[in-house]
Amino acid sequence: MRKYNIPHNFEFTTIIQLYAKWIRSGKLPVSSDWNRDLQVKFTIQDPCNIVRKTLRHEMADELRFVCKSIIGEENLVDMVPCGSNNYCCGGGGGALQGGYTEQRRAYGKVKFDQIQETEATYVIAPCHNCHTQIEDIGKHYGGNYHVVHIWTLMCLAMGVLGENERTYLGPDLENLGL
């Protein structure tokens, strides 16, 4: 709509932008204190649709603000390149459901290598396709990382992560706060 200057009376936003707004206003009371002593390292997958194709640097900055707020700025290790220049994981556009598993994994090897370079223990993947693809290539190529949703970390940062919501956490975090 912006591209073609189509008149409209609504605003396009993402849950990540809302998280950022709510954190800044104090409505979402998160704290990275849980990770102060642990110093677990995280990296972020910038999803193609909301970062590279749509909101670009603005979205990448908001995503990093949210992540730093919940894990601690010193615990974020960005991939190189990152933001709107980050590499596609290879799972979107129907690739996960397309039936060409080996081709998808071969394409994803670039992302796998990029993640491994960070030496992060966790990859934050805000997109479901990215989450599934990055988890799959990690298992396929023998990665030493876990893939986690922002919401899981958000709940951890608020001290409300339930016992049954720890599916994607590794042994270092699965019992934290219980």
Sheet containing 146-148: give its strands across. 42-44, 122-124, 146-148
Q: Is the pLDDT of residue 59 over 70?
A: yes
User: What mean pLDDT is reported for the chain?
Assistant: 91
Q: Average pLDDT, stretch 11-15?
A: 84
Q: Is the pLDDT of residue 55 over 70?
A: no
Q: Average pLDDT, stretch 2-27?
A: 90
Higher-confidence residue of 124 and 92: namely 124
Tens-place pLDDT, residues 74-97: 999 999 998 888 999 988 878 888
Give the percent of the chain with pLDDT over 70. Answer: 99
pLDDT band with cut points at 50, 70 and 90 for residue 112:
very high
- CB neighbour burial string for 132-142, b if at least 16 within 10 angstroms, e if fewer: ebbbbbbebee
Q: In the chain, where are the structural domains located?
A: 29-165
Highest mean pLDDT among 22-26, 94-98, 171-175: 22-26
The CATH number of 29-165 is: 3.40.50
